Structure 1
Amino acid sequence: MNQRRTRRAAPRPPEGTPAPAELARLARTVLAGAVRVARWADLALGPGSDAGTADGKATLSDATAERAAADLGLTPAQIRADWDTARLSGLVEVHGDSARPSWRLRAWDRDDSAVLRGWVALFDAWSLACPEPSGQEPATVAEVVSAMPQVLSFLQLSAGPVPAEQLLDLLQQRVTELRTERCEVTYAPGAVEAPVLTAPAPDVPLAPLLDWAVEALAAVGALTHGDGHATLTPLGSWAVWVKLEQICVAAQSPAGNIEQSAEDMLRGCAQLRPNAARAEYRAWLAARTVGGAVGQLLDAARGDDALLRGLAFEALRVVGAPAEHEVRAVVAEPALRPYALLWLAEYDGVDPEDAHEVLTREEATWLWVDTAAAVADHGETDMLVRHLEAAVQPTVPALLEEVRSVGHPRTVQVLVALAAAHPDPALAKAVRRAAFQVHTGG
C-alpha cells in the first residue's frame, strides 16, 4: 500500500540574516588566524622542508610552533590554537602523522561557499575547540553536547539576549529528556527478570558545563555573552537555521532512502527521473557528514555494478566543491578515472557537453564499455543498440578493435549482449566474433 510521506516546510532564514557575502566576510574574520597559520605551514613546511609534526597526530612540534610564532609575531600558544582551529575547520587535512592544505584553503579567497562550509565545520566541532572543565564525568559532558542544539534553537527563536538562568533551566530539562529517552535499565537487588526502568534527574551540577559550552561557542564565533546573558551572532543564527533546514530536507526524501547505505540508495534512485534523483541525493547527503558521504559514494563506485558507478558520480555532482579533493585522489584508479576526469572538468567550468574532450581515446572507449555494461545489466535491449551511436569511433570495426584493446573486465559480456540485441545479422556476427576473440585471447 502506498503511503504518502509528510512533507515539512523548510524553515525560513531569520529575519535580518545577512547576505551570503556578508556572512562569508564574518566567517573569514573568525578564521583569519587559522588561515594565516595554515598558509604559513603550506609555505614553510611543504615538500622538501623540515617536518611540522612529531607525535603522529599532525600537531605542531615545539620547534615548529616556536618557528611559526617568530615568523608571524605571535606566541606559540596562539599558533597552536590557530593550528587546531585550522584542522577543525578543514583548512588543513590530516593524513596519518602529517597534514597538508585542503581544497578549502586553496579556494578561500574566491569561494564564499568554501568559507562558510569551513566555519560550519568549526561550529559543528565547538566541543573540541575548547577543552571541557577538568573533573567532569564524560557521560555528562556528552549529554550537554547533545542537548546544546535545543539550547541554540531557543536562542535563535529569542532573537536577542537570553539570561543564563533560563538557558541553564532549559539545559537541565533537555538532559533529563535525553536520559529518559535512553530508558536506562537497572535491576533491583536479587531480581532476575524484573528490570526497573529509571529516568534519573541530573545529579551533577550543569552550570559549569553550560559556562564551558557558552565559552566554546563564543570562541568559534557563534554567540556573544556578558552580564549574565548570551546572544547568537549573525553567523550563529544562520548556522542554526542551516541545521534546521537540513533536518527538513532529510524529512522530505521522496523515495525514503535516507537511512540506506550509499549502494542501496543509488539502486533506489536508478529508476527515478534526474530531478527526483537529485532531490534524493540531497536528502541522503543532508543526513550525513560530507566526508563520510563522499567516501561511501566512492566505495559504491568501486563495485562491480557499472550503473552504480555512474550514479555515484551524479550524486557527487550534488556534493560539489567539498568532494573535489577525494575525486582528484581517485583519478589514479583505472575504473574511476574517466568518471573522475569528467566530474573535475565540469567542476572547473567546462560545459558538460564538451567535458568528454578531456578524455583520451582509450579512456573514452573504456567509459563506453562501462556504460554499455550498465545498460546491458539494467536497460532495454534497444538502448544497448542506440549506445553504439555514443562511441567516439567512426565505424563499428574501429570501435571493436579499440574495445578489444582497453581491457575492460566486462568486454566479453557487453559484446555478447550487443550481438544478441542488434538487428543487423552481419554486424551481430562481427560483434560475436570480436567477443570470441577477446574471450580466447585472440
Structure 2
Amino acid sequence: MSIEWVNAAIEDFRAWGRSNGVVVDADEVRLLCDYASDYLDVGELADFTPVTFEQLLLDIYPRKVIAPPESAAETVAAARTLVDFLLQSGEIGTKMAGRMRAKIDEIAPDMPAALADTTKFGMAKSMFGAMGADALEAGTPYAARDDLTAGPRRPAAVGAGEVCDCPGCAPLPPVRLAPPQEVAQAVREAGLLHDAHRVLSWMVDGGHAPTLKGRLRARDAALAARELGVAAPALAWEVALAVGLAEASGRTVSAPRGPGPLSTRGDEEVLDLWAGTVAFLTGASEADVTGFAPVDRELYAVHDMLYRLHEPLAVVALREYLEEVSAEDDEPDAGGLEAALGVLARCGTLAYEHDAVTLTPHGRWGLREVYSRMGLVAPVAADPAEGDAEALIASLVAGVPAGQAERDIAAWLGRRPPEEAAREILAAARGTAAGTRGVAVTLVDRLGAEAAPAVREVLDDPELRPHALMWLASHGLTAPALTPEEALWAGVDALAFVLPREGDDPDEIAGDLAAAAPSAQVIDEMWQVDHPDVAEVLDLLGRHLADRNLAKAARKAAFKARSRGIH
C-alpha cells in the first residue's frame, strides 16, 4: 500500500471539506484510495478514472470488504464527494468529472447486489464472513468495513475507551475444549514441548554446550536430529529456553524446573509449559519456524483463523488466503505450504490430513490460553451433554466435527435411561423442520427396545409417525404397517434431511443416490406428497441422479409440486 500519497491525499481532502463547509467521509475515501493503490496501480489522485470507480465499487469492494448491501449508498456518496474534491483541487477537468459522475450514477443501483453476491467474495472475506454474523453487529470490536486481506493480527495497543478495529479483535466464538488431563497427556506424548524436553535432557546429560549467544550449535543440532529423531532440534531448543525449561548462561546450561521428564510432571505444570509453547509459536512471526516464509509471517493469523472456524479448512483455501496476504514475489507454492503444515503438525498445534487442516484439541486449548493471557474474552461453549435434548440437537444441526459429535451424543445418551432419552428427543422434534427432525430420528435409532414406550407415544404425530413405525419394525416390535402414503412421506423427509449438506459434499450425495435411487414410479408419485420440502427434494434428485431419464422425471415432478402450491 502506498501509505504516503494516501495519507497526504486524505489530509488535503479533510482540509478541503473544512474550508468548503462540506461534511466528508474521510475513512471511506481512504478505503477507496487504499484499494485503488493496492489493486489498480493508482499512485496519485490524478490517476483516478471512471473505470477506477467501476472496478472499485463492483469488483474490489464485493471481494474484499465485509459490508451489508445497504451500506452501498454510503460508499457511493463518498465516491461522489471524492469526484467533487478531485475537480475543485485541479486533479481532473470538468469533462473527466462529468464522466466519473455518470459512471457512478450507473454503478449505484448495481452495487448493493454486488455486495450481496457471495460468488464475488474473496477467500479472506469468505472465511471471515463464515465466522458468524455476530462479529459484524454494531458495537462489537470488529470493523465490519476493515480490509481483511491483512488477515487477523495480534491486537494493537489501544488507549482507554478505544476499540481496536482489526479482524483479530473480533469477538472470539465459544469453543469446545478437551478435558485438561487429555490435553496434558497429548502434550507429554508428542509435539514440540515433548521434543524441547528431550533436547534439554540430551544437552544436560551429554555435556553439550550452546553457543555464546545461547543457541544450539549447528553440529549439535545435526547430532540431536540423528540420535533423538527430533525433526527440528534448534526450534525445540528455542522453545526450551522460551518456556523456562532451560536457561543458558554463556556456555552453561541449567534446568530451573528440574531434570524430571514430562511424564513425571503434574498436569498443571505441563499445561503451563504447553501454553508457553503455543505462545512462542503463534508469536514467532519473525522466526524461521517452518522454513516457509508465507506461513511463518502468518503463524498467528493461521492459528487464529482455524480457532474461529468450527470445521477443518481445505488446504486449497488456506493457500488462496496466503496468496492474498503475501507479497507478489513470495506467493505460496503447493509443496512449500504442505511441508510447512507438516512441521506445524509435528509441533502439535495443527492436524493436517486429507488435504485439510484444523487445530488439534491441545492446539485449541493452548491458543485459548494465549488469548486469555492477552486479555481477550475467550468463551468456552457449553457442553451439550449437560443440557436438554433441544440443546444437543441444535448443536448437531449447527455442525460440529464428527469426532466431537460422537462424544457429545454418547455422553448425552449415557446420562439418561433409553426411554427417558427417547421421550425428550422426540418431544424436541415435534413441529420442527426436516433437518432437526432427521437429527432427532438418528439419535433415537441408537436406542434399544427399552425406548419403545416413548416411541409409541408419537404415533399420533403425522410427521413423526412414519419414523416411529419404521423404528418399531426395525426392532422387531409390534406395530401397524406403514401405508404407502406414509412410506412415501418418510422417503421425502429422509431426503429433505440431507438438503443442507448438498453444498458441502455434492459428490457424496450423488453417490448415495446412485446406490439407492428411487424408481420412476416413486418419483412420479412424490410430487403429490404433502411435505413442505417436496419440491426441493425433487430438485435435488433432478440435479444428482445419474440416470438422465430419472433426473428428468424428477425435474418434471418438481414443477408439478410447485404448480399445486407445495413449497
Q: Give the TM-score band, short-chain normalised.
A: 0.3 to 0.5
- Higher relative contact order by CA 8 Å / sep ≥ 6: 1 or 2? 1
Larger Rg: 2
